[in-house]
Structure 1
Amino acid sequence: MEEFKTIATFTFVHEILVLKSILQHEGIRYFFQNENLIAIDPLASFAYGGINLKIHPNDFERVQNILDNLNSNLKIV
């Protein structure tokens, strides 16, 4: 896990649900650092710096494309 790098940071657990499903479907190795801690105490997100999406450096471009597509396709009404 030491070689895994942070590619994105999220504030609350509900922000990662769709992304988690996509990463699993694509077979990309990942983990969300602080996910369980912040699920238990959402205000801890500010103290711990949020939920960090950690990925293997070889998957950086694929995950960056997924994040870009999510940001452009998810519109808050």
Structure 2
Amino acid sequence: MKDYICLATFTYPHEYFVLKLKFDEAGIRYYFQNETLVGLLPLSSFAFGGIRLMVHPLNISKAKQIIDSLNDKSSHLRIV
């Protein structure tokens, strides 16, 4: 997991729920660093640097495509 690359940072878990589902569908290897810690102590998210989306280097381009598609103005599903 030391080779994983941070693609995005979120403050709260609800901000990336749709993204998590899309990554699972696409078979992308990823994890959210600090997810459990922020889930237990939500107001401490800023202190821990937020929840970091860590993606395996082989899946970076596919992950970026999914993120870009969700941030497209024509998409009904948007990530924060």
**Please, what TM-score do these two structures have when normalized by structure 1?**
0.91
Q: Which has the larger share of helix?
A: 1
Report whether the alignment pairs 1:18 with 2:18. Answer: yes
C-alpha RMSD of matched pairs (Å): 1.0
Deviation at 1:58, TM superposition (A): 1.3
Structure 2-normalised TM-score? 0.88
Give runs of ≥4 in structure 1 deviating > 4 Å.
Answer: none
Aligned residues: 75
Amino acid in the other structure paired with 1:24: D
Q: Structure 1 vs Structure 2: percent identity of aligned residues?
A: 47
Shift of residue 16, structure 1, vs aligned partner: 1.4
SS of 1:28 mapped into structure 2: coil
Which runs of 5 or more structure 1 residues have no equivalent in the other structure? none
Q: Give SS of 2:42's match.
A: coil
Structure 2 unmatched runs, 5+? none
